[in-house]
Structure 1
Amino acid sequence: MDGLRTLPLAVTMMMGPQIVSAIIFVTVRRAVRVSLAFLLGVALATTAGLAVMRGLASLLGSAVDLGGSSDAGSVGHIVQYVLVGLLVLMAIRNWRGRATAKPPAWLGTLMNASPRRAFEIGLMVILLMPSDLVVMATVGVHLEQADANFAEALPLIGLTVLIAALPLLAYLLFRRRAEHAMPRIRDWMYGHSWLINIVVALVFIVLILA
């Protein structure tokens, strides 16, 4: 995945409700079991999502010449510019609605989540989040342009799961401190979801254009 910075992409994948969910799960009863189920969902969703996007990019590449990764006027780059435009619109929408912005209602239900529900949330926060779909679509196009196989996406999958696991690792390593800190972090991110969404959009715009 030369040309794409894997770590910032993984951070982008988990910013927003994704990492908030991970933080909430370490503050619930049976935190370890619930968090592990969530991580399994994230891993499966990221793998499946990237595989599908790679496949779609391959189909697109067989129908239309995407061009090389160094060709700024190629169809592949035009697709990426369209994605940039969508991200800009998303950032503007979040900024204009910041005064009345509320996090997704389902976040409030996670305090009583079972491992099965946590697994479902792990799938949902990757496969249904616009920002993650944009990331995976961009990676799929990049892999097709570079004529790379799916193994090139494995570092992104691994780092995404690792970032999702950071709240659980902090909980296991610093149990008492984490028990005090995580609820405060959760509440701040819960109340500033609009700002997080804007930051995610801007970071990914920079990654695409760079």
Structure 2
Amino acid sequence: MDLQVLPLAVTMMVGPQIMSAIILVTGRQAVRASLAFLAGVTAAAIAGVSVGRGVFALVGNGVSLGDPSSAGSAGTIVQIVLVALLLAAAVKSYAKRETAKPPRWLGTLMDAGPRKAFEIGLLVILLMPSDIMVMLAVAAHLEQRDLGLAAALPFIAATVLIAALPLLTLLLFRGRMKRAMPRVREWMNTRSWLVNIAAYVIFILLVL
């Protein structure tokens, strides 16, 4: 198992991802929906890293990724491109902070059942540009070091654990969290642009 990719799990769940987990624990089917959401996140993380690993394996057969420490390696070029894209996304989020709103589909999670929660768990990972970039970075890391998918298990497990924090907190402190979660949700809704920028900055620091 490779622990070097472990910190990237933090970025996987920052933004609408953790907002979804928080909203689900405030719903009527909090436990069942949250468990289904975690199942979706797990399936999406495994699928995303697996597909990325396969793509880089195919690329590696025709084009050498190069030494990971080399400034001209394909892996390094991918990292530079990712950082540039993240910087652009962070600037865009800041520029639109006055009109920034969380995605409309987040509002549908209040009454989400297990099936809907599972679908959201898949979509917030597989369709989020930041998560796609993270999984590609993990896949490139595995390919450069000739590691199998098993080496990404700590990353996948950490991603699921972070996604489970709202549910774990609810189960441990049910009374207090029922009162606190709506306030946390409201804070994240009104400052979604700040949450997004924090995710971009964290990932940039991890890549560099």
Does structure 1 conserve the Cα–Cα contact (< 8 Å) formed by 2:41 and 2:121?
Answer: yes
TM-score (norm 1): 0.96
Identical counterparts, % of pairs: 62
- CA distance in structure 2 between the partners assigned to 1:112 and 1:199 by the alignment: 28
Q: Which residue is equivalent to 1:129?
A: 128
Q: Which runs of 5+ in 1 are unaligned?
A: none
8 Å Cα contact 1:18/1:125 also seen in 2: yes
| Counterpart Cα distance in 1 of 2:128 and 2:90 | 14
- Tell me by how many angstroms 1:2 deviates: 5.4
The superposition leaves residues 85-109 of structure 1 with CA deviations (integer Å, 9 ceiling, x where unpaired) of 1111100110100011111110011
- Using the size of structure 2 for normalisation, the TM-score is 0.97
The equivalent residue for 2:100 is 101
Cα drift, residue 3 of structure 1: 7.9
Whichever residue aligns with residue 149 of structure 2, its letter is F
Change in CA separation of 1:71 and 1:3 when aligned onto 2, cut-off 3 Å: farther
Q: Report if aligned partners of 1:13, 1:131 keep a CA contact under 8 Å in 2.
A: yes
Q: Could you tell me how far apart the structure 2 residues matched to 1:192 and 1:203 are?
A: 17
Contact 1:171 1:179 in 2 (8 A): yes
The alignment's C-alpha RMSD in Å is 1.2
| Residue identity in the other structure for 1:4 | Q
Answer yes or no: is the 8 Å Cα contact 2:52–2:136 preserved in 1: yes
Q: Give the Cα separation in 2 of the matches to 1:4 and 1:154.
A: 12
Q: 4+ runs of 1 displaced by more than 6 Å?
A: none
Structure 2: unaligned runs, 5 residues or longer: none
The Cα of 1:40 is off from its aligned counterpart by 0.4
1:15 partnered with 2:7: no
Shift of 1:30: 1.6
